[in-house]
Amino acid sequence: MVTLGVRRWETLADSVQGVNKRRNQDWYECRGAGTGESPLLLAVADGHGSAAHARSELGARFAVDRFMGLAEHFGRAAADCQGPGRLSRLMTYARDDFPRALVHEWRQAALGHWDRNRPVVEEASREPGTEEKVVLYGTTLIGAVLMPWLFVAWQIGDGDLAVVEHDGTLSRPLAPAEEDLGDETESLCGRDAWRSVRMHWAPVFEEARTPRLVVLSTDGLSKSFASADGYRSFVEGLAGRLAGEGGAGVREVLPRWLAEAARHSGDDTTLAAALRFARDAPEPAGAEAEAEAGGNGESTAVAAGAAEPDEPKTETETET
């Protein structure tokens, strides 16, 4: 039996630029309320940032923008697919067609930008091939859709999706069987990239079993810890702080946490999270505005003189 009770989520998100980076090449967006009429959409993307991927900060933004558009369409389709048979067909679409459409639209955005912004070169210079152009915009992506009866997420490349379930257990449902080595990772700019998109499909058949917390982050966060246990401890600490204080207090210190992680990992660091409220909890002040948050690290800053909370700690001692 599918329960259709209205669900409300509080979102928080931020991004900070990595140490010695010329610009922040991450992008993120949170949109919607998590209801059947307004699914909650979350996405973070991490442009590769090397010389071979010179336009990757734009690629990251294109990835988030195109995901949001497709996810809105997916949410409208899901609104009419609550029965088991229809959910099965929707899952097939999410597994096969959604990644194809995402990669296609992202490539079209990248190639369109190239056509409008060709570099000035010698007349005799060779025109880069299509794949060479697309590589300039290389990026990873994690995106999620949350509705009262469905939680689905997609990922290509590194970064992390962490889920604190209804009973408090923590899972990383899209973590690869083997971690990527060094800076190697799958990318939207790869050949047949849609084949590398991983999907998490989780229908919600009882309202009480809805996840408590969903966290999307770029690898600048997880790389700041000496081990996967450190990252898990961070998410568990975040869940505890959010459960005890709500989003307002955590939102205030989040930029400083991310800046500390970026200092250790050396990479741009971005986090977008959704905290489920109890059904009878009052509507949080400003929740509607928060649900439409989006942007990149250029607009954020470390909170100067922030207090010293008992926040999750980074473990690694080696800066890169």
Has residue 25 got a pLDDT over 60? Answer: yes
Q: Write the CATH number for 259.
A: 3.60.40.10
**The predicted structure's pLDDT at residue 127:** 86
**The predicted structure's pLDDT at residue 244:** 86
| Whole-angstrom distance, CA of residue 141 vs CA of residue 128 | 25
Tell me, yes or no, whether 300 lies in a domain.
no
What is the secondary structure of 206-236 as a DSSP string? SGGGS-SEEEEE-HHHHTTSSSHHHHHHHHH
Tell me, yes or no, whether 286 lies in a domain.
no
For residue 106, what are the domain limits? 9-116+130-276
Tell me, yes or no, whether 313 lies in a domain.
no
Nearest to 297 by CA among 239, 217, 233, 241: 217
Among the ranges 170-174, 241-245, 278-282, 313-317, which has the highest mean pLDDT value? 170-174
Amino acid residing at 197: V
Q: Would you say how long the chain is, in residues?
A: 320
- Which pLDDT band, with edges at 50, 70 and 90, does 84 fall under? low
Tell me, yes or no, whether 317 lies in a domain.
no
Summarised one tens digit per residue, pLDDT across range 288-317 is 444 445 565 443 322 222 223 344 444 433
Give the global pTM: 0.86
Task: Return the DSSP state at 183.
Answer: T
Residue 95 Rama label (left phi>0; alpha psi -120 to 50; beta): alpha
3-state secondary structure of 196: helix
CB burial class (10 A; 0-12, 13-18, 19+) of residue 283? exposed
Has residue 116 got a pLDDT over 70? Answer: yes
| Whole-angstrom distance, CA of residue 38 vs CA of residue 218 | 25
Q: What is the mean pLDDT of residues 58-68?
A: 98
**The predicted structure's pLDDT at residue 184:** 77
Tokens linked to 11: 């979102």
Decide if 148 contacts 35 (C-beta within 8 A): yes
Domain count within the chain: 1
Long-range pairs of 52-56 with CB within 8 A, sequence gap ≥ 24: 52/135, 52/136, 52/138, 53/135, 53/136, 53/137, 53/138, 53/139, 53/189, 54/136, 55/110, 55/113, 55/136, 55/137, 56/25, 56/136, 56/137, 56/138, 56/139
33-47, 149-163, 267-281, 306-320: least confident range:
306-320
If one compares 277 and 95, the residue with the highest pLDDT of the two is: 95
**The predicted structure's pLDDT at residue 121:** 72
Tell me, yes or no, whether 122 lies in a domain.
no
Q: Is the dihedral of CA 131, 132, 134, 137 positive or negative?
A: positive
**The predicted structure's pLDDT at residue 290:** 45
What sections of 122-187 are H helices per DSSP?
Answer: 130-135
- Which pLDDT band, with edges at 50, 70 and 90, does 7 fall under? low
* Beta strands across the sheet bearing 198-203: 198-203, 150-156, 139-147, 40-47, 26-31, 294-295
Tell me, yes or no, whether 314 lies in a domain.
no
Nearest to 214 by CA among 234, 231, 235, 243: 235
- Which pLDDT band, with edges at 50, 70 and 90, does 75 fall under? very high
Summarised one tens digit per residue, pLDDT across range 122-171 is 666 788 999 999 999 999 999 999 999 999 999 999 999 999 999 999 99
Tell me, yes or no, whether 224 lies in a domain.
yes
